[in-house]
Amino acid sequence: MTTRALHWNRSKTAAVARWGAPIAMGVGLTMSSHGQKLFYESFDALPFGPNVEEASAGAAVWTKTPPAGWVIDDSQMPGFGTPEYAANDGRREWAGWSFADARWWPTVDNQRRAEFLLATGGAAIADPDEWDDATHLKGLFNSFLSTPEISVAGKAANSLVLAFDSSWRPEGHDDGGANWPVDENGEPVNNQTAIITAQWDNGTPIEVLRWESYPSEGEFFHPDAPNESVVLELKNPGNAQKLQLKLAMVDSANDWWWAVDNVAVGEPPFMTGLSGSGIGFTARIREALGKTVNENQPITAKLDGQLVAVTKTRDADVNELVLLNHDQSPKIFAPRSTHAVELAFTTTDGRNVTDTGTFVAPGYTAVASTPTSVTATISETTYLAVDEAKGVKVELDGTALTGLTVSREDLTAADGSDAPDRITVRYAASTPFASSSSHTLKVTFTTKTAQEVVETLAFTAPEYVTLPAALATATGTGADAGIRWRTHQLEVSRPNNNIADTEKQLAGELGVSVHDTSSQSAGGYFEIPYVNFDQNAGDAGNFNASSTVEGQAVQDELIPGIPGTTGSMDNIAADALAYVEIPSAGVYTMVVNSDDGFQVSVGNATNPRYVVLGKFDAGRGQADTSFYFQAEAAGVYLFRLLYFEGGSDARVEWFTVNSGGVRALVNGTQTGALKAYKRRTVAEPNLPAGNPTLGISRTGANVTVTYTGTLQSADQVGGPYQAVSGATSPYAVPTAVGAKFYRSQQ
């Protein structure tokens, strides 16, 4: 086996600075197989959809669906195929090989993921580090990704290479205990390993790459390489007709990751990467096996069919990578426009090569919305600056908007130097957008080089829940300021770190509580002013003693009853009940910052879970989850915050955000904070009457049941039916459980 890995690291700043930024801006890429290139995949054309469990939200950022002909094999993931797997598959986005937008991926938790600048658009990612951030069954991460069969007929022996871009961070021999397999001496066995095999004509797969994670592995140890271009000699038999590659990520526990992009097979040299900025493109030509570009002959490039000038450079340390750059500044491409590039060059062995690809220019404007506002953000760059004197025009669903708020944000780079600014244009809607409604926003501005830019963006208004007026009692009917908090702590881990098992724990179904009861009331509650907790009473979240934001310098408190009688700070379940006074009808933004999950609901004392406003139903590191609700009327409503934590850190905050972005703890002392009370002075309202509803749909490996009322299940259509413990709508049912019947009752 011969492996040649081309490392891009901090010692090669000049190389990264020369072409790293354009690659970060590129989006789409497809390439045709001209002459020597037999196969290419950039993962950019995949139908990306929204994330499912990660706190960093995106509308088109992730999919488990591979490109045509590719196959994911997750059969060796812990518990795969069992009834427990759907609810215990770790962080769902990363349960085996997946595909994601390479620029969104670092937002889930950077840790050097952002350094994968060679990736353009989508990438194939195996990320056991993020996978382990949610509950999964005992075992190691083992997942496999296979290419389609690649025709290699007619290619001379030993003439083919595999080229790809890679981000790799290793870790091994450090995860033991109850969650991971160990050897006969109880020592950890995890050793994050990357393997690529080549199978010729259905023969025995041959290993062409192996990277392991522990220095003692000798020649197979591969150190940190978060942004690397790799070329492998495939040593193809001369009579081979077809090739299939398999990428394996195995023997991983709570380790790091392996991500790949721009996978190409062929006879070098050929184009292996193409990325576009707003003013040009950069193409990479991979050389190998002594087959190189003849630099004494012309290299020509066409952009959208027209000859354009390119500059050629070689990396100072890697002589097998030719970089071609075209710069058409000050002219910029239209936002998100697609462009074709054709390269023509001669090889040193006399072949005339033509290679083609396409790229998508970047967008210059981003859009975000709340139920009552929409914001367009124009990001200036070194080649694009907005002429504010010409104004910014905005149309919403075809109607010109007035009353816009336009502001400039002066940004500073990480090294303290000036960075390009952002122009923010905000529109406050007179009436709320309908929940989950679709809209278009057309933004028009002029650059300082007198080029008009028109960009039309689609956006979906956030989903929000309506609180019926029937759930409220009159304003002023709350009494005894504060919140009632209940803690339950298990001596051992709950079966699943999720909402359903947290409800069981609070109901006493999973064992007795070992929390410290010394300061709770006779009713079993702790009386608290607001929810701003950290297990160590340190500086955590948005509200902490060190905050310099006005109103947010609030000391974190210990979680009531924690540490428990065993000294543990883990396996916590809790809920907070608060009669919250909503001062006026309208839409409100509420946020829970938590480590791990939560659920906020509203109802009455008999059923405080009548309507769910927001939740995060998995383990995670500390993060905000924002959600919205529309109150039909002012009044006092019973809110319930459910909180749970499995292991490691435990933190939770509960607050609102007003239209100006100002945060206020529920029952806090900040201006605009919602008041909360421990009881009502009048009778509890009746829950709204109405016919229950029931809907069933298929979502991945689950059936999703959406309902109102109380969900009941049975093994036979005729019953008997029993209430589903801990269920909230929507309710996910693993398909592996077999036949099950559901109904809802008011």
How far apart, in whole angstroms, are the C-alpha atoms of residue 262 and residue 119?
7
Q: Rounded to the nearest 5°, which phi and psi values hold at 523?
A: -85, 0
> How high is the pLDDT of residue 702?
57
- Pairing between β-strand 741-745 and β-strand 365-370 as defined by DSSP bridges: unpaired
How far apart, in whole angstroms, are the C-alpha atoms of residue 726 and residue 503?
5
How far apart, in whole angstroms, are the C-alpha atoms of residue 106 and residue 456?
26
> How high is the pLDDT of residue 342?
96
User: For the chain, how far is it from start to end, CA to CA, in angstroms?
Assistant: 67
* Type of residue at 275: S
> How high is the pLDDT of residue 733?
73
How far apart, in whole angstroms, are the C-alpha atoms of residue 742 and residue 696?
9
> How high is the pLDDT of residue 413?
65
**pLDDT below 50 — which residues of the chain?**
1-35, 699-701
> How high is the pLDDT of residue 737?
52
CA nearest to 258, candidates 326, 164, 324, 323: 164
Beta bridge partners of 252: 141
399-404: long-range pairs with CB below 8 Å, 24+:
401/427, 403/427, 403/428
How far apart, in whole angstroms, are the C-alpha atoms of residue 519 and residue 560?
8
> How high is the pLDDT of residue 25?
28
CB-CB contact of 277 with 327 (8 Å): no
Domains of the chain: 3-358 (2.60.120.200), 365-462 (2.60.40), 467-680 (2.60.120.1560), 694-745 (no CATH)
Instruction: Enter the pTM of the model.
Output: 0.77
How far apart, in whole angstroms, are the C-alpha atoms of residue 664 and residue 649?
23
Beta bridge partners of 396: 399, 441
Find how far residue 481's CA is from the centre of its chain: 39
Q: What is the pLDDT of residues 374-432, one digit of tens each?
A: 999 999 999 999 999 999 999 999 999 999 999 998 877 666 676 788 999 999 998 99
Q: How many residues in the chain?
A: 746
Per-position DSSP letters for 679-715, written without gaps between them: EESSPPPPPPP----EEEEEETTEEEEEESSEEEEES
> How high is the pLDDT of residue 721?
73
> How high is the pLDDT of residue 318?
65
How far apart, in whole angstroms, are the C-alpha atoms of residue 714 and residue 721?
5
Place of tokens 């946020």: 591
Q: On the CB side of 81, how many CA atoms lie within 13 Å of its CA?
A: 5
Report whether the peptide linkage leading into residue 268 is cis, meaning its omega lies within 30 degrees of zero.
Answer: no
> How high is the pLDDT of residue 31?
40
How far apart, in whole angstroms, are the C-alpha atoms of residue 308 and residue 328?
9
- Pairing between β-strand 572-582 and β-strand 483-489 as defined by DSSP bridges: antiparallel
Q: On the CB side of 175, how many CA atoms lie within 13 Å of its CA?
A: 22
Place of tokens 């459980």: 737
How far apart, in whole angstroms, are the C-alpha atoms of residue 604 and residue 477?
14
